Every structure is written in structure tokens, then in C-alpha cells.
Amino acid sequence: MHDTRPDHAAPAMPQGSIDALYDVVGARRDVRREFLPDALPRALLTRILNAAHMGPSVGLMQPWRFIMISDEGTRAKLAASFEAANAAAMGTYSGERAATYASLKLSALQDAPTLIAVTTEVDAKRGHGLGRASWPEMAQFSTVAAIQNLWLAARVEGVGVGWVSILDKDDVRDALGLPDGVAPTAILCVGYVKRFEPRPDLEAAGWEERLSLADVVVAETYDGPSYVDE
């Protein structure tokens, strides 16, 4: 590869690290099927949680909290909320799409050995408001970036993660005892899995197709020409 990097620029990491990062990005999956019941070692969970905690946050507010759920009552409440929300969603489809929707496995709340609820203290004093005055969503966005760190760390460790959003947020608040000012950001199903599929389940099932990179990168303005030659 011809390196055009200026002499006084910080270097790239070693090629092996570059390759590893792209490998894990490409191999990460949103897993809902074939979790194994075996508990994850505490040391492994701590490593992937620490990766999350190294995530970026607006104003260094670190608004996230990770709630590790093993209580079967909490699991049952979340699973019941999924069942109701999923039934309501199913009612909005018809014909072939309804049949496809019904065939999808969209929750592993009752299968995965570990559930992690991730919350955001949206108006925390921590960070002193920096970067949030005109863009308050940045608090939850920070938490999402942390979750993506966790997701990639889990994948490289051979651990599956499935993010379930077919839930009533008020049910989630009740199940976890969230105080005012704290938003539920994600419910994650986490555990060893039998396999990581080569393609996303939703692509394999024909639910939606992948766009090409050229479809999503444009020059200068929203309706500008494609920027990528593929």
C-alpha cells in the first residue's frame, strides 16, 4: 500500500491491528438465535464492560449505567413486554411481509444467560452540560457509542449480543426501577452462541437488502452526487 501519510503525522497502528479491527466490524452480528445457557465468566464480562466504559461521551459526562440482570422476575417482565409489543407490531403487517415477520426470532430475552440493560442519565450534572445545550440527544448518543464498543469487544471475544427494542419503554422503566431523568437506552441479550452467521438474519430472511456504500456516501449536500466509486 502506498502510504501518503505526512512525515509529522501520528502513525497508523500495525497492519495486523488494522486487519483485526475490520475483521471484527465485519463479523459482528445482532444475535437472537442459538445462545448457549452457560454463564459468562465475570472476568470476560468485566473486559467487555470496560470497553464500553472507554467510549466517547459528550463533555466526558459518562451518562451510562449497565444493569446486569439475572433475576428471573425481571427477565419475565421484559419478556412479557416484548411479547405484547411484538404482537402489536405483527398486527401492522399483512400478506407475505406478515408471514416473514412471524418467522423471525426477534428476542433472546428468555434464552441468553445474561441480560444487560443500559441506561442514560440524560440531564446529569457530570460533564457540566458541555456539548449538550443545543444537542440534548448527545447524552443518549454517548451511551450508544459505548454500547457499540461493547458489541465489538463481545464479538472479538466470541460472545453474541442481541439488542432488543421491541419493548414498551415504560415497562422497562418499571422493571428496572429507573428514576426520573434516566432513560432506558438498550436491552442487550448476551452470551456464548453456537455460531455467528455470515450474513445478518434480516438479510438472509429477505426482510431487507444491504445498500451499497455508494448509496450512502455523497458529496457536499444531502442530494449531492455519490462520493464513492465501487
Q: Is residue 203 involved in binding a copy of itself (CB under 8 A)?
A: yes
Rg (CA), the chain: 20
Q: Nearest distance from residue 109's CB to a copy of itself, in Å?
A: 14
Unique residue bearing C-alpha cell 427477565? 75
Distance CA 196, CA 36 (A): 12
Q: Does 198 bind a copy of itself (CB under 8 A)?
A: no
Q: Nearer to a copy of itself by C-beta: 80 or 129?
A: 129
Residues 210-229 that bind a copy of itself (CB under 8 A): 210-211, 213, 216-224, 227-228
Q: Pick from 33, 110, 123, 207: which binds a copy of itself (CB under 8 A)?
A: 207
Interactions with a copy of itself, residue window 64-93 (CB under 8 A): 64-71, 74, 85, 88-89, 92-93
Q: How many residues bind a copy of itself (CB under 8 A)?
A: 123
Q: What is the DSSP letter of 59?
A: G
> Rounded distance, CA 88 to CA 184, Å?
21
Strand segments (E) across 28-157: 64-69, 114-121
Residues 95-154 that bind a copy of itself (CB under 8 A): 97, 101, 104, 106, 119, 126-135, 137-138, 140-141, 144-145, 147-149, 151-153
Provide the minimum distance between the beta carbon of 171 and a copy of itself in the complex, in angstroms, as a whole number: 9
In angstroms, rounded to a whole number, what is the distance separating the alpha carbons of residues 46 and 50? 6
Residue 47 is a binding residue for a copy of itself (CB under 8 A): yes
73's grid cell = 422476575
- Residue 166 is a binding residue for a copy of itself (CB under 8 A): yes
Instruction: State in angstroms the smallest separation of the CB of 207 from a copy of itself.
Output: 6
Give min distance, CB of 162 to a copy of itself, in A: 10
Complex with a copy of itself: residue 110 or 129, whichever CB lies closer: 129
How many other C-beta atoms are found inside a 10 Å radius of the C-beta of residue 117? 20
State yes or no: residue 181 binds a copy of itself (CB under 8 A): no
- What is the distance between the alpha carbons of residues 104 and 189, in angstroms, rounded to a whole number? 16
What b-and-e string marks burial along 132-167, b requiring 16 or more CB atoms within 10 Å of the CB?
A: beeeeebbbbbbbebbebbbbbbbbeebbbbbbebb
Query: Rounded to whole angstroms, how far apart are CA atoms 208 and 101?
Result: 11
